[in-house]
Chain A
Amino acid sequence: MSTAAHAGSVGHLAFQPTGDVELQADYVVVGSGSGGSAAAVVLARAGYRVVVVESGPWRDRNDYPHSMLGAMRDMMPDWGGTVAMGDSIMPIVQARGVGGGTVINSAIMVRTPGDVLHDWARDHGLGDVFTERAMGEAHDRVDADLEVAPTPTGPDYGRSNAGLLEMLRSRGFEAHPTARNVHGCVGSGQCLQGCRQGAKRSTNLQWLPEVIERGGLVLSCAPVDRVVLEGGRAVGVRGRFRHPQNRQRGGTFAVRAKRGVLLAASATQTPLLLHRSGVRSAALGRFWRSHPGAACVGVYPEPVDMHHGATQGTASVHFRGGIGPGATLQPGVGIKIESLALPLELVAGRTAGAGRGLVDKLTDARHQALWITAVRAEAEGSCKPGLFGQPNVRYKPTANDRAALLRGLRLLAELHFEHGATAVRPGIYGLPDSIGPDQLHLLETPPRDNRGITWVLSHLFGGAVLGSDPSRSVVGPDLHVRGARGLHVVCASALPTTLGVNPQHTIMAVAQITALRLANAGNPAS
Chain B
Amino acid sequence: MLRATVRWTLAAVFPSTDRLPGLDRLDTDASLAAFMAAPAVIRAGLLGSTLAFLLCPLLTIGWPLPAFLLPRDALDRHAAAMASSRIYLLRQAMLMLKTVGGVLWGGHPEVRAKLGLPLYGPDPGTFRGDDLRPPRTDAEPPA
Contacts and interface: CB of A to CB of B under 8 A. Distances in A.
Interface of A: 9-15, 57-70, 72-74, 78-79, 81, 88-89, 97-98, 198, 204-205, 208-209, 212-213, 220-221, 244-245, 247, 303, 307, 343-360, 362-363, 365-366, 390, 429, 451, 454
Given A59-B127, A65-B124, A348 B80 contact: no
Given A70-B123, A74-B127, A365-B117, 7 more contacts: A10-B143, A58-B128, A63-B133, A79-B38, A344-B111, A359-B105, A362-B20
Nearest to A189: B118
6 contacts: A60-B128, A89-B92, A247-B39, A349-B95, A349-B99, A355-B75
A303 B106 CA distance: 17
Contacts, number: 202
A64 B125 CA distance: 7
Given A81-B39, A347-B106, A63 B115 contact: no
A3 B22 CA distance: 52
A387 to B, nearest CB: 12
B128 A59 contact: yes
A362 B111 CA distance: 10
Given A352-B83, A353-B80, A69 B104 contact: yes
Nearest to B91: A429
A22 to B, nearest CB: 19
A347 B101 CA distance: 11
Interface in B23-41: 31, 34-35, 38-39, 41
Contact of B79 (A65, A303, A355, A365): A355
A339 B141 CA distance: 34
Given A220-B129, A344-B115, A359-B15, A60 B107 contact: no
Given A73-B125, A307-B118, A345-B103, A358 B14 contact: yes
B88 interface: yes
A74 B129 contact: no
Interface residues of B, number: 65
Contact of B123 (A74, A346, A360, A365): A74
Contacts of A221: 127, 129
A10 B137 CA distance: 15
A216 B125 CA distance: 26
A212 B142 CA distance: 9
Contacts of A345: 102-103, 105-107
Contacts of B20: 359, 362-363
The 3 A-B residue pairs with the shortest CB-CB distance in the complex, in nearest-first order? A14-B129, A70-B123, A348-B102
A62 B112 contact: no
A155 B68 CA distance: 50
Contact of B13 (A11, A58, A358): A358
Nearest to B143: A10
Contact of A57 (B99, B129, B140): B129
A290 B40 CA distance: 26
A57 B31 contact: no
Interface string B109-141: 001100111101111111111100100011111
Given A73-B34, A346-B102, A198 B80 contact: no
B124 A354 contact: no
A97 B137 CA distance: 17
Contacts of A11: 141, 143
B41 A354 contact: no
Contact of A344 (B17, B31, B92, B117): B117
A356 B17 contact: yes
B106 A72 contact: no
B75 to A, nearest CB: 7
Nearest to B19: A363
A356 B15 contact: yes
B83 A353 contact: yes
A418 B73 CA distance: 38
Contacts of B116: 303, 366
B82 interface: yes
A307 B14 contact: no
A198 to B, nearest CB: 6
B48 interface: no
A28 B124 CA distance: 31
Nearest to B123: A70
**Most B Cβ at <10 Å: residue of A60, A208, A245, A358:** A358
B142 A14 contact: no
A307 B15 CA distance: 24
Nearest to B142: A213
B137 A61 contact: yes
